[in-house]
Every structure is written in structure tokens, then in C-alpha cells.
Amino acid sequence: MFNIVTWTAHPIIYHLSTPWGDLDLRWYALMFIVGFAIGVKLMEKYYRLDGKDPERVYSLFLYCFFGTLIGARLGHCLFYNPDYYLAHPLEILMTWKGGLASHGGTLGVFVAVLMYARKDKLPALFVLDRLGIAVAPVAALIRVGNLFNHEIYGHETDVPWAFRFITNLGAYEAGREPVFTAPSHPTQIYEALCYLAVFFINAWLYRRFKSGQRPGLLLGSFFTLVFGSRFLIEFVKNVQEDFEEGMMLDMGQLLSIPFIIAGVWLIVRALHRPEVTKW
């Protein structure tokens, strides 16, 4: 049996005072950076295995980075609080205030890859399938960042692995005593473990189907498994916005459904079409 964890991790790794203001290095930002670095190395590996120049991955990284950031921010603003942000459009740019949505980030990456593939003269599904492997550990590390931020945790529970999170995080960062939640589901860890499982499953599928010669299979698997697990975990996760209270399905679940349907369609389509012998 595990003991209930009282999670006192500080979200700031290092604080630096400068003449221009305070600068904080946060675990969330570090997880984001490390995740993208791992994703780049994985994409280089798969490009090399498929006979493509791995140097082409660096321009893909820039497209994906900005696609993720822009898409995730717009997704949060427009999916979760459109009235406020449409009335205060300049605050959409204030990413340091928090608010990134994974569904929006996924759409942002999708659009970015379409732009990249057209410019680099590569089939978009070739890139998206391999991102279906490389993005999974990125998503897992971002959820670890959420854990350090004491955010997006779950309902109260009596399971032996429950966590108590800090509710007065701003005051805690300023040096005051923490105030803790009741024991709650550490849904950040649940999601991180699911995303790591997706990585191993898709890496296996890549090898099983001869270097991913079923276009759309890995992307479909990614959509189905990532958003399917997200849909289920939402049942024990606290809602992100007040308007979600009382909804049969919260916003995260409603936004996951189209991705799950698209994922199943991609898998069926990939398995019923002839194999691609050369990209």
C-alpha cells in the first residue's frame, strides 16, 4: 500500500533578480523544453530510418513549436472562456498568465505540419505518423509540469496513492505556509503514464508495419489512445472552468470526441488500403 502524498514541490526551480525584473525558471517550462528536445531527437531517428535527411527536422521543430503555442493558447481562450477573451483580445497574447489547451495545441500542430509538408515537399501523413510517436513523451512531460504547478488534479478520493495539492500557490511562492486540498486523484500522473504507453505502442506499430508503411495508422492510434484516455480520465478530474459544473461531459471530453472518431477512421482506412512501399 502507498501512503498519501502531501505534494509540496515548488513550481519554481530558480529565481533570478535582474535590473529589468524578476526571472523565474519553472518546472513547467523545463518539462516543455526537455520534451521538445526529446521529440526532435526521435524525429531525427525516424527520418534517418526512412531515408530522409534528419536536418529537415529542425525546420519542422520551429513549425511545431509555434503551432503548439499558438494553437494551445487560442484553444484555451476560445474553447474555455471566449466571451472574456473576445472582449479583451490583447490578453490572448499574455501567455504568462496561464491557460493552454491541449486540444488547441493538437490542432495548431496539425495546421503547422500541413504548412511544413507543403514547403518541404513531404507527404503530410508521413510527418504526422512519425509525430504520433515523438509527441507522446512531450505530452507526458508537460503533464509532469502540471504536477509541479499543482494544477489539473482530480476529485477527492480515498485511494492509497492520492495526492494533497497546494491551493494557495501564489502565497506559497511568496513564502507563506501552504494550504492543501483533501487527498485527490493525481490525474497529471495518470495522463503522463497513458501518454508514455502511447509512445511505446506506436513505436512498436512503426516496427511491426515495416517502418510505418500504413499511412495514417500511427496518427490514428495517437488520436484514439491519447484522447480516449483523456476522455476517461476526465471523469475523475476537476473541471477547469465554472461553466462546466453540472455538465454530463465536460469541455475536455466534448473536444476529445472528434479526435477519437478521426483516430478510429484513420486506423480503419490505413488497414484497408495497400501498403506504401516508398514515401
State pLDDT tens for residues 43-87: 999 999 999 999 999 999 999 999 988 998 898 888 888 888 888
Going along 59-144, which residue ranges are E strands? none
Please check the confidence at residue 166 and state whether its pLDDT lies above 70: yes
Average pLDDT value for residue range 102-106: 87
Retrieve residue 49's grid coordinates: 530510418
Domain ranges, ordered by start, for the chain: 5-272
Please say if the pLDDT value at position 156 is more than 90: yes
Of the candidates 136, 120, 121, the residue with the CA atom closest to the CA atom of residue 42:
136
What is the mean predicted confidence (pLDDT) over 14-38? Answer: 85
Full DSSP string of 1-58: -PPPEE----SEEEEEEETTEEEEEEHHHHHHHHHHHHHHHHHHHHHHHTT--GGGHH
Nearest alpha-carbon partner for 225 in 208, 249, 247, 203 = 203
Separation between Cα atoms, residue 253 and residue 262, nearest integer Å: 15
pLDDT given for residue 97 in this prediction: 67
DSSP strand pairing (21-26 vs 163-164): unpaired
Helix (H, G, I), strand (E, B) or coil at 178: coil
The DSSP letter of residue 162 is -
Q: What is the pLDDT of residue 211?
A: 66
Burial of 97 (0-12, 13-18, 19+ CB in 10 A): exposed
Which secondary-structure segment (H or E) carries 164? Answer: strand 163-164
Residue with cell 492510434: 221
pLDDT band for position 191 (cuts 50, 70, 90): very high
What pTM value is reported for the model?
0.88
* DSSP conformation class of 250: -
pLDDT tens string 170-189: 899 888 999 999 999 999 99
As a whole-number percent, the residues of the chain with pLDDT over 90 amount to 66
- Cα 196 from Cα 186, distance rounded (Å): 16
Using 50, 70 and 90 to split pLDDT, how confident is the model at 234? very high
Residue 102, all three cell numbers? 491541449
